[in-house]
């Protein structure tokens, strides 16, 4: 927080160490996964709000995993949230929305407009796509995403989402041709 950056230098995974699965700290999958990312003001504010929430809820921040503690995103008992827990929250939000939308559509005698299932990985994918759409330098985007190979950034995440995006790029070419 002091340096206003997110330092990604480890990951939490479940490992079976003979006595059952337990959380362990490991290095990221690739060297490219180790990175420091400048924090936007809105990210800093969100982290501060989360800490505030933990304090107000009396959530213990002393839960330790391989010598690390003070996790920002935790369950009620202070354990770090795992992707499946985040995904379950997202699924519940979508399910609640779809239930409301179905009831509303029925009252209005129309077909409901259902939201698709959203996961943490889909949010990551969407974030990357939106940064690319805003014109972020592709090498910077590769660094932020922690991709070892630029092809992953270009092929997997930087897909074309709207026809308007294609039109916008073609208009750039038209402007070049007018010179």
**pLDDT tens digits, one per residue of 140-162:** 999 999 999 888 888 766 565 56
Separation between Cα atoms, residue 131 and residue 138, nearest integer Å: 9
Tokens of 128: 């990357």
Would you place residue 174 in the very low, low, confident or very high pLDDT band (cuts 50, 70, 90)?
Answer: confident
Compute the average pLDDT of residues 33-43: 94
Q: What is the pLDDT of residue 116?
A: 95
**Half-sphere exposure (Cβ direction) of 157: Cα atoms closer than 13 Å:** 27
Residue 35 has pLDDT above 90, yes or no: yes
Pick from 43, 38, 26, 29: nearest CA to 144: 38
Q: What is the pLDDT of residue 175?
A: 75
- Residues of the chain by 3-state class (helix, strand, coil), percent to 5: 50, 15, 35
Residue 134 has pLDDT above 70, yes or no: yes
Kindly state the percentage of the chain with pLDDT values over 90: 51
Compute the average pLDDT of residues 31-46: 94
Q: Quote the Cα angle for 30-118-93, to 5°.
A: 130
Show the DSSP H helices in the chain as ranges.
Answer: 41-56, 83-107, 120-133, 138-145, 150-151, 163-177
Give residue limits of the domains in the chain: 1-80, 82-116, 119-179
What is the pTM (predicted TM-score) of this model? Answer: 0.77
């Amino acid at each position: 927080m002091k340096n206003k950056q997110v330092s990604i230098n480890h990951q939490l995974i479940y490992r079976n160490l003979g006595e059952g699965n337990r959380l362990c700290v490991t290095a990221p999958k690739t060297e490219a996964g180790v990175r420091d990312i400048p924090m936007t003001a809105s990210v800093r504010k969100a982290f501060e709000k989360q800490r505030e929430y933990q304090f107000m809820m009396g959530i213990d921040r002393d839960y330790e995993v391989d010598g690390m503690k003070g996790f920002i995103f935790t369950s009620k008992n202070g354990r770090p949230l795992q992707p499946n827990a985040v995904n379950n929250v997202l699924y519940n939000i979508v399910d609640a929305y779809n239930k409301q939308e179905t009831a509303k559509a029925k009252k209005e005698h129309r077909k409901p407009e259902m939201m698709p299932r959203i996961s943490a990985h889909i949010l990551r994918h969407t974030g990357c796509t939106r940064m690319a759409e805003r014109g972020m330098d592709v090498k910077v985007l590769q660094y932020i995403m922690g991709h070892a190979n630029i092809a992953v950034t270009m092929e997997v995440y930087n897909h074309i989402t709207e026809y308007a995006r294609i039109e916008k790029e073609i208009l750039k070419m038209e402007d070049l041709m007018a010179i």
